[in-house]
Structure formats: structure tokens, C-alpha cells
Amino acid sequence: MPKLNLLPWREQHRQQKNKQFIIALVLSLAITSLMAAAVWGYLQQTNHSLILANKVLIDKNAQLQIAIDKDQSEKQRQQKIVAQSIEVERLAHHRNSLVQLWSELTSIIPTTMSLTGIESQQGSMVFRGKSKESSAVSKFVAYLQQNPAIQQAQVKHIKKPESVTQAAPYHGNHNQSTVDQQIGTSLIGSRADSHHFDFEVVAILFEKEAKHNDSAPSPSSNEAASKEARL
């Protein structure tokens, strides 16, 4: 049997396997690199999309905050307008009450009583006059107390030309008979000696009306004298 030399074939076969291994290794590395590049590109694209979405979200939040602030400002402005409207209506009502007081002043004062002066003093109005009956003064105080623009009305003092008698303040919870009794008690000993007595009534206005009333000029002595003459 002839002898065959297989060494060259084995060498070629080994080189071919090495070449195939190198090619497979290179292809594997190339595929792995491509896959890594694809994953990296996908992650970069996703990150970029998230950054853009976050920026859009921040812009939307800023616009929403501006809209919320504007809405709150609008609500506050509306509430302020409503409060001002209510205050204007209240002031108008109180002012109309004062106007009604001035217009009805001559009709509510009886013939036994007359006013000699009206003065405005730091949130209050002072009525001075003369009366022959204590009940007339108490009715006048009760009328002032019922006026919405007046917070409280009270008799400051009642006096005869030669003496002064202090009277208790009039409050809204006092009835007519109580005021009559207070004033009548202070004058029980003086009616026989004098036909009339001087009185002074203080009407305390509400704060807003007091500011408005203080800005207006006080009645002069001539106006008071003419008022007394008409009464």
C-alpha cells in the first residue's frame, strides 16, 4: 500500500479553520458593536425625548402657574369690587338716613322743644336746645337711636340757667319709660321754678359716617339761630 503525505492538507485545513474562526470573531465583534451602537442611539434618543418632554412640561407648568396667579388676582379683584360695592351701598344707606334725619328734623320736634345749635365733633353730632317737657327730649333721643347712621344717642346733660343736672346715657336697650324716668327724676324739683330747661344730646356716628360727617362743614351759629326761629 502506498504511503500518503497528509501534512500539507492538515496544515491547509488548520489554516482554513483559523481563518473561519477569525472571520466569525470579527463578525461577532461587528454585530456586538452594531447592537451596542443601536442601543446607545436608542437610549440617546429616549433621553433627548425625555429632555424635550421635561422642558415642555416645565413650560406648561409655568403657563399654568401664570394662569392660576391671574385667576387668583381676578378673584381677589372681584371680591374687592364686591366688598367695595357692599360698602358703597351701606354708606349710601347711612347717608340717606342722615339726609332723612335732616329732612324730618323739623317735623319730629314738638312745639315744646327747640334746637339752638347743631355741632359736629370728631365722630359725633351734638344737638343743643331748649324744652319744656322731659318726654320731648327722650322721644328725640329715641328717634336718633333708631337712625341706621347713628351708633348711639345719649343725653349729655340737662340744665336750668342756674344749675346743671347730669343725666344717665341713653342706650338702645332702654325703653321709652326708662328714659322718661331718668330725665324726669333729674327735673322733678325744677319744673315749678322754670318754664324750660337747656339740654345737650350727643349722637355717636358709625366710623365711616363719622369720617364723612367730619369732612363736611359744621352748621354756623346763624344757621342754628334760623333753625330755632323756624322751630
Reported in sequence order, the residue ranges of the chain that DSSP labels E, i.e. its strands, are 113-121, 124-131, 150-160, 163-166, 197-205
Characterize 149-178 residue by residue with b for buried, 16 or more Cβ atoms within 10 angstroms of its Cβ, and e for exposed.
bbbbbbbeebbeeeeeeebeebeeebeeee
Residue 228 resides in a domain: no
Asked whether residue 115 carries a pLDDT value surpassing 60, the answer given is yes
85 vs 106, residue with greater confidence: 85
Report pLDDT digits (tens) over 67-101.
Answer: 999 999 999 999 999 999 888 887 777 677 777 77
Burial string for 119-129 (b: 16+ CB within 10 Å, else e) reads: ebeeebbebbb
Same domain for 128 and 67 = no
CATH number, position 125: 3.30.1360
Give pLDDT, residue 101: 74
* Residues 25 and 85 reside in one and the same domain: yes
Do 137 and 87 share a structural domain?
no
The whole-number pLDDT of residue 70 equals: 92
Q: How far apart are CA 101 and CA 117, in angstroms?
A: 15
* pLDDT tens-digit map of 196-206: 778 888 888 76
How many CA atoms within 13 Å lie on the side-chain side of 229? 6
What average pLDDT does the segment 114-130 reach? Answer: 83
Residues with Cβ within 8 Å of residue 125, at least 6 apart in sequence: 118, 119, 202, 203, 205, 213
Joined grid coordinates for residue 42? 436608542
For 99, half-sphere exposure in the C-beta direction (CA atoms, 13 angstrom radius) is 6
What pLDDT was estimated at residue 204?
83
Reference 200, options 128, 115, 94; nearest CA is: 128
SS (H, E, C) 55-84: HHHHHHHHHHHHHHHHHHHHHHHHHHHHHH
Based on the domain organization, do 26 and 61 belong to the same domain?
A: yes
Read off the C-alpha cell for 114: 327747640
CA atoms within 13 A on the CB side of 84: 6
76 and 21 in a common domain: yes
**202 domain-assigned:** yes
Please state the domain count of the chain.
2
Among the residue ranges 44-48, 79-83, 106-110, 154-158, the one predicted with the least confidence is 106-110
Range of the domain at 203: 111-161+196-207
pLDDT tops 50 at residue 224: no
Query: Counting every residue, how long is the chain?
Result: 231
Same-domain pairing of 75 and 156: no
Same-domain check for residues 62 and 131: no
186: pLDDT strictly greater than 60: no
Res 49 pLDDT > 80? yes
Enter the C-alpha cell of residue 177. 319709660
Residues 119 and 200 reside in one and the same domain: yes
Helix (H, G, I), strand (E, B) or coil at 156: strand
* pTM, full prediction: 0.43
Asked, for residue 220, whether it belongs to a domain, the answer is no
Q: Which three cell numbers stand for residue 141?
A: 333721643
With a pLDDT cut of 70, the percent of the chain lying above it is 70
What is the average pLDDT across 23-28? 93
Q: How far is CA 230 from the centre of its chain?
A: 45
